[in-house]
């Protein structure tokens, strides 16, 4: 539409900014906006389009999760610790979007340091689910999720360490993809658990996610875990028919703990895939239940190490009154971090401390291998794995906030793919009591193009991804 000049990027950006001004006060999806910066990028994009130098995302307004450093933008990671931090450089993901002339529409709210599944741990307040403002949007990419669902952006970025793209995509009813670990550079993306963190697209449709992936993915030497692979066109397989596709259903994803009404929606989605020519295969991922205990050793361990950089010396919060250096560290960190972040730092410090390392950290790494091997075995019998992305629909704000273990169980179906390093998606598959339900599609390593194909074909015969919450038209 931009290239046929029906609407300019400036007009499109202004439209979204007006929608944000109208709806953000009730949803709290954005925590930083800069109209002048966004419109300057839109103007530059219009010039590129006029000069015939446009690519698919030129001039498209994208919301950026506040975990990505964007030069001269506040970058807080949802924390008081970084409330005054203005990024002095761009994350690789930001550079990639700038290079194609996309517009940075603003920074989105998130659970503090990406630790949460409801966006309630943000220092800047919770985000409301546009489908029901009394409910949470999921997390940690809750602001991006609400912005996509409420059409307060064309698309958004997110990050997924244990489900932070897919669970909110499920709870807010849109398409979200966590790529294979190493496909998108982590440079300039504030670290939580470095062996699990991966950025990905959050958008209305699988096709939009594919276009986003074409921009986000690629080798970057500044991230030591970035994979040096040939550039891919993630849209290449979208149109392929699904005849003969082998879909694996892990029995552990349909066992106790899954809300029956969510299970029903997933069953209907599977039936739609059968009609599209897919063959259903029963598989087993026997160690699924262990993924949560393993994750809550490994992720906090890595986080306790990553977050040791926030000491109040060079940037971030420093306490107002202190006696000596130790006092300054301890007070600055106690004041700068919220309760959930402190809990995870304490767990991480404990499991790494002398005497416990073998029993917890090493043990968790061993079981991590068992979990990864489950997938290797499963993919011998199927091309993609399907199941629910989250055990329930969006829950009410405050419902799980005092019970960390109940909150952690939200990620039961998503965490194992992070541990294995596999790509996973959530696509809208229907509703339960008026709330969206996401179908999870898990692919083999580097199989994003096939997963996007599988999602896109479903979106050709269903319209769940086009549904919009009421009251925000």
Partner 1 sequence: MALSIEDIKKVAHLARLEISDADASATLTKLSGILRLIEQMQAVDTTGIVPMSHSQDLSQRLRDDIVTKTNQREAFQKNAPVLGNGSTESAVAEGLYLVPKVIE
Considering only residues 325-354, where is the footprint of partner 1 by CB under 8 A?
Answer: 325-334, 337, 342-343, 345-351, 353
Among residues 128 and 331, whose Cβ is nearest to partner 1?
Answer: 331
Longest dimension (CA), the chain: 70
With CB under 8 A as the contact rule, the residue among 405, 433, 463, 473 that binds partner 1 is 405
Question: How many CB atoms neighbour CB 224 within 10 A?
Answer: 10
Asked about 164 being catalytic, the answer comes back as yes
Tell me how far CA of residue 127 lies from CA of 111, 123, 220, 392, 471, in angstroms: 9, 11, 32, 18, 17
Among residues 15 and 308, whose Cβ is nearest to partner 1?
Answer: 308
Asked about 261 being catalytic, the answer comes back as no
Secondary structure of residue 160 in the 3-state scheme: coil
With CB under 8 A as the contact rule, the residue among 4, 320, 433, 473 that binds partner 1 is 320
Regarding 227 and contact with partner 1 (CB under 8 A), the answer is: yes
HEC letters along 393-436: CCCECCCCCCCHHHHHHHHCCCHHHHHHCCCEEEEEEEEECCEE
Question: Candidates 113-121, 219-227, 233-241, 376-384 — which segment interacts with partner 1 by CB under 8 A?
Answer: 219-227
Q: How far apart are CA 28 and CA 82, in angstroms?
A: 18
Among residues 267 and 327, whose Cβ is nearest to partner 1?
Answer: 327
Residue 38 corresponds to which tokens in the numbers above?
């966004």
Regarding 367 and contact with partner 1 (CB under 8 A), the answer is: yes
Among residues 40 and 352, whose Cβ is nearest to partner 1?
Answer: 352
With CB under 8 A as the contact rule, the residue among 59, 143, 176, 182 that binds partner 1 is 182
Residue 118 corresponds to which tokens in the numbers above?
């409801």
Regarding 186 and contact with partner 1 (CB under 8 A), the answer is: no
Regarding 363 and contact with partner 1 (CB under 8 A), the answer is: yes
Asked about 305 being catalytic, the answer comes back as no
Tell me how far CA of residue 278 lies from CA of 99, 242, 248, 458, in angstroms: 39, 6, 10, 11
Least CB distance from residue 373 to partner 1, whole Å? 9
CB 118 within 8 A of CB 72: no
**# binding residues, partner 1 (CB under 8 A):** 76
Query: What does the DSSP assignment read for 299-319?
Result: HHHHHHHHGGG-SSSSSS---
With CB under 8 A as the contact rule, the residue among 43, 240, 246, 318 that binds partner 1 is 318
Among residues 7 and 325, whose Cβ is nearest to partner 1?
Answer: 325
The catalytic residues are 65, 140, 164
């Amino acid at each position: 539409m931009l290239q046929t000049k029906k609407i300019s990027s400036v007009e499109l950006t202004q439209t979204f900014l007006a929608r944000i001004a109208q709806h953000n006060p009730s949803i709290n999806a954005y925590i930083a906006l800069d109209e002048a910066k966004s419109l300057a990028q839109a103007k530059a994009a219009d010039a590129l389009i006029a000069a015939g130098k446009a690519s698919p995302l030129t001039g498209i307004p994208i919301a950026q999760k506040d975990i990505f450093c964007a030069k001269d933008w506040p970058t807080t990671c949802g924390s008081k610790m970084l409330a005054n931090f203005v990024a002095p450089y761009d994350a690789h993901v930001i550079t990639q979007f700038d290079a194609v002339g996309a517009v940075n529409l603003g920074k989105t709210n998130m659970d503090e340091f990406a630790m949460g599944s409801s966006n309630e741990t943000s220092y800047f307040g919770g985000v409301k689910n546009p489908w029901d403002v009394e409910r949470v949007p999921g997390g940690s990419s809750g602001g991006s999720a609400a912005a996509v669902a409420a059409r307060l952006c064309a698309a958004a970025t997110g990050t997924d360490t244990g489900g932070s793209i897919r669970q909110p995509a499920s709870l807010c009813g849109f398409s979200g993809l966590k790529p294979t670990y190493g496909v998108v550079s982590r440079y300039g993306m504030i670290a939580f658990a470095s062996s699990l963190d991966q950025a990905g697209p959050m958008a209305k449709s699988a096709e939009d996610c594919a276009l986003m992936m074409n921009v986000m993915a690629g080798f970057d030497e500044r991230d030591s875990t970035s994979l040096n692979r040939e550039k891919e066109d993630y849209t290449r397989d979208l149109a392929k028919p699904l005849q003969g596709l082998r879909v694996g259903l892990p029995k552990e994803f349909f066992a106790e703990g899954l809300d029956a009404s969510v299970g029903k929606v997933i069953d209907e989605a599977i039936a739609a895939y059968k009609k599209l020519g897919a063959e259903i295969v029963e598989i087993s991922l026997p160690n699924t239940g262990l993924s949560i205990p393993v994750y809550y050793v490994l992720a906090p361990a890595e986080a306790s190490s990553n977050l040791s950089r926030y000491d109040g010396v060079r940037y971030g919060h420093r306490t107002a009154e202190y006696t000596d250096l130790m006092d300054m560290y301890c007070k600055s960190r106690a004041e700068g971090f919220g309760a959930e972040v402190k809990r995870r730092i304490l767990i991480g410090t404990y499991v790494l401390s002398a005497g416990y390392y073998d029993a917890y950290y090493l043990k968790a790494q061993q079981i991590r291998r068992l979990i990864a091997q489950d997938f290797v075995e499963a993919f011998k019998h199927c091309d993609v794995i399907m199941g629910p992305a989250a055990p329930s629909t969006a829950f009410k704000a405050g419902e799980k906030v005092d019970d960390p273990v109940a909150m952690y169980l939200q990620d039961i179906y998503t965490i194992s793919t992070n541990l294995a390093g596999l790509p996973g998606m959530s696509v809208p598959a229907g509703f339960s009591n008026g709330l969206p339900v996401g179908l999870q599609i898990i692919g083999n390593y580097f199989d994003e193009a096939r997963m996007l194909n599988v999602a896109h074909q479903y979106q050709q015969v269903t319209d769940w991804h086009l549904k919009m919450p009421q009251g925000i038209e």
